[in-house]
């Protein structure tokens, strides 16, 4: 018989909102960076929003922005919707289905695209899809924000990141910590310049690309 999920399983008591430690820990530091980057009004597309913990936290702070979460996994879209409902926020519409590798996204214009902890837990094609899609929907001056672990110059920046990379690759050989140079070269090919990189807790980076 199915067991009612509990907080310890990563769910709230009703089993609707998934609660994971990683977004709980990094939502504060990411928000501090986003405060310095995002406009006060406009449209933000969140790619690979996962549980929705970020969506609820960020949308609540940026009440002048329309915050559109997207996520390919149906169960996670249910969790995102539950977080939006729980947080009582009105500037976050229902989550949309999006695998960023698709050529056609459900939104054709945005002021910013953000994606955290996605490009390493997915094949490289997802990083290509994220950047190509962001380039299609962002206008001049639009922001692409990417958060996660990165190697630099082909070298892992900590033993923890090297171990994490090995664990990712044992799960799926196409996964892996991406190199900052590879991502920035790809972004440049799509019309983005790396405006800022911010060191984050636990050897992660915030990368802020702006479309020219």
Residues at the site binding ligand SAM, with contacts judged by CB under 6 A: 22-23, 47-50, 54, 71-73, 76, 98-101, 116-118, 121-122, 126, 129
Nearer to ligand SAM, 45 or 180 (CB): 45
Residue, CB closest to ligand SAM: 50
Torsion of CA 41, 42, 47, 52, to 10 degrees: 40
Round the CA-based radius of gyration of the chain to a whole number and report it: 17
d(CA 151, CA 161): 8
Among residues 80 and 180, whose Cβ is nearest to ligand SAM?
Answer: 80
Residue 41 or 102: which CB sits closer to ligand SAM? Answer: 102
Is residue 151 within a helix (H) or strand (E), and if so which, with residue range? strand 150-151
Least distance in Å: CB of 55 to ligand SAM?
9
Q: Smallest gap, in angstroms, from Cβ of residue 118 to ligand SAM?
A: 4
CA distances from 95 to 70, 88, 91, 106 (A): 5, 15, 12, 11
Q: How far is the CB of 190 from ligand SAM (least distance, A)?
A: 16
| Residue 21 CB, nearest approach to ligand SAM (Å) | 10
**Of 47 and 138, CB closest to ligand SAM:** 47
97-128 in b/e burial notation, b at 16+ Cβ within 10 A?
A: ebbbbeeebeeeebbbbbbbbbbbbbebebbb
Q: In the complex with ligand SAM, which residue's Cβ is closer, 167 or 193?
A: 167
At its nearest, how many Å lie between ligand SAM and the CB of residue 38?
Answer: 16
């Amino acid at each position: 018989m199915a067991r009612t999920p509990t907080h310890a399983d990563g769910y709230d008591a009703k089993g609707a909102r998934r609660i994971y430690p990683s977004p709980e820990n990094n939502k504060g530091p990411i928000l501090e960076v986003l405060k310095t980057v995002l406009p006060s009004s406009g449209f933000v597309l969140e790619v690979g929003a996962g549980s929705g913990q970020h969506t609820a936290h960020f949308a609540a702070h940026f009440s002048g922005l329309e915050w559109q979460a997207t996520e390919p996994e149906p169960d996670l879209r249910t969790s995102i919707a539950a977080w939006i409902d729980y947080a009582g926020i009105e500037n976050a519409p229902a989550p949309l289905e999006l695998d960023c590798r698709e050529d056609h996204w459900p939104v054709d214009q945005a002021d910013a695209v953000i994606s955290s902890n996605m490009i390493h837990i997915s094949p490289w094609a997802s990083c290509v899809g994220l950047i190509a899609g962001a380039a299609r929907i962002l206008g001049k001056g639009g922001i692409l924000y990417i958060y996660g672990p990165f190697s630099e110059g082909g070298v892992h920046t900590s033993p923890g990141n090297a171990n994490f990379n090995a664990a990712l690759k044992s799960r799926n050989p196409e996964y892996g910590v991406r190199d900052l140079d590879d991502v920035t070269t790809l972004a440049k090919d799509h019309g983005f310049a790396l405006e800022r990189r911010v060191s984050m807790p636990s050897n992660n980076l915030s990368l802020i690309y702006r479309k020219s």
